[in-house]
Structure 1
Amino acid sequence: MNKERYNQLSKEILDASITVHKEMGPGLLESVYEFCLMKELELRGIVARNQVPVQLIYKGYELNKDYRIDILVENEVIIELKAVEVLLPVHEAQIISHLKLTDKRLGFLINFNVPLLKQGFRRFAYDF
């Protein structure tokens, strides 16, 4: 995927997230925002999957365990959703770890429990 496509998806993801936040407001469960964002992305013609299992590999060994990505957009962009009072460093570490373990280049940490979504929207990009 080229840089222009990443930038286009970034704008769409931000706009879709703002739309969901305006429609639903803060204070709901993370799962509510996940389903709403999935529908909003679908309405925009963007391919996304939620609760995507990722095989855990340690030192080259596939372990009998996987972890889940909240939303994977076009098999390239990771979205980690939160509905918390405040984003903590551990939340940032989580999205960074997801990016490293899946070898993805772009991820978003989105906290819907804020008055304005831009306050809870963080972009993480590598190797651009």
Structure 2
Amino acid sequence: MQSGSDVRDQANVLASVVVDAAIEVHRILGPGLLESAYEAALAYELGLRGITVERQVLLPVHYKGEYLDAGFRLDLVVGKLLIVELKAVQHIEPIHEAQLLTYLRLSGRWLGLLLNFNVPLMKNGIRRMVNG
């Protein structure tokens, strides 16, 4: 069994790879596309780098001992550790950050990335968020 620090170290390494891959996707595609195009391209780019990616992962809500399908879907789960929420919006709003934090809490994961591809420079569209 891995310690908490080992999981966090792995999540940090994955986050670094995702950021590099997102910069590559943005360099090639640029801003202005739909979120779904960036999701497909980023998943493909991560696959090229040998990273396991799941797309549109169902996230049920645990409520009074039951798991309820509330319609939540995680855009990408990378290496089973990292949640990546993708946006193609004018500005990241507090609701987008709250969404990712909720996903982290509900899934029990520690680290997430909020990536907005609708920016001139991808480095300006990256938000790293932690649970706790």
Q: What is the TM-score of this pair, normalised by structure 1? A: 0.93
Instruction: Tell me, in whole angstroms, the C-alpha distance in 2 between the residues paired with 1:108 and 1:4.
Output: 15
Instruction: Tell me, in whole angstroms, the C-alpha distance in 1 between the residues paired with 2:11 and 2:25.
Output: 21
Aligned to 1:44: 49
- Structure 2 residue 62 is the aligned partner of structure 1 residue 57: yes
- Let me know the Cα RMSD of the aligned residues: 1.3
- Structure 2 residue 67 is the aligned partner of structure 1 residue 76: no
> Do 1:56 and 1:66's aligned partners in 2 also have CA atoms closer than 8 Å?
no
Report deviation, 1:64. Answer: 4.4
For structure 2, the residue ranges without an aligned partner over 5 or more in a row are: none
Aligned to 1:22: 27
> Do 1:46 and 1:74's aligned partners in 2 also have CA atoms closer than 8 Å?
yes
| Percent pairwise identity | 46
Paired positions, count? 127
Q: What is the TM-score of this pair, normalised by structure 2? A: 0.91
Write 1 or 2 for the structure with the bigger share of strand.
Answer: 1
Report deviation, 1:61. Answer: 2.1
For structure 1, the residue ranges without an aligned partner over 5 or more in a row are: none
Deviation >4 Å, runs of 4+: none
